[in-house]
Amino acid sequence: MKFRTHAEIVKGRIDPVPVWDVIFLLMIFLVLSSPFVLQPGFGLLELARSSSPTTATFQNLVVTVSRDNLFFFNGQPTTFDGLRQSLTRAAQQTRNAE
């Protein structure tokens, strides 16, 4: 027995969205897999000369503020005004040492 089908092949428009998806995926893949060449921003840089010595010594100054708003300068408890005086004194000692 032979059955007759009424199915027809419909020729319609091709949906462009999947084509664009594939193109964008390929572009992303190619961009991410390409090697990056780093260009230097400056050529030869000429620095200015100075008459002062090039070496300097710095002393370590540690200021700590706790959660309870307590101030410590180099491990010693102090007040806010005392911290200001200690930093001023340390700055004067650094200037006098040079």
What's the confidence (pLDDT) of residue 53? 65
- pTM of the model as a whole: 0.39
59 Cβ contact list (under 8 Å, min separation 6) = 90, 93, 94
Spatial contact of 71 and 65, defined as CB atoms under 8 Å apart: yes
pLDDT by residue, tens only, the chain of 98 residues: 777 777 777 787 888 899 999 999 999 998 888 877 766 666 777 778 877 666 656 668 889 999 898 999 988 999 989 999 998 888 888 777 65
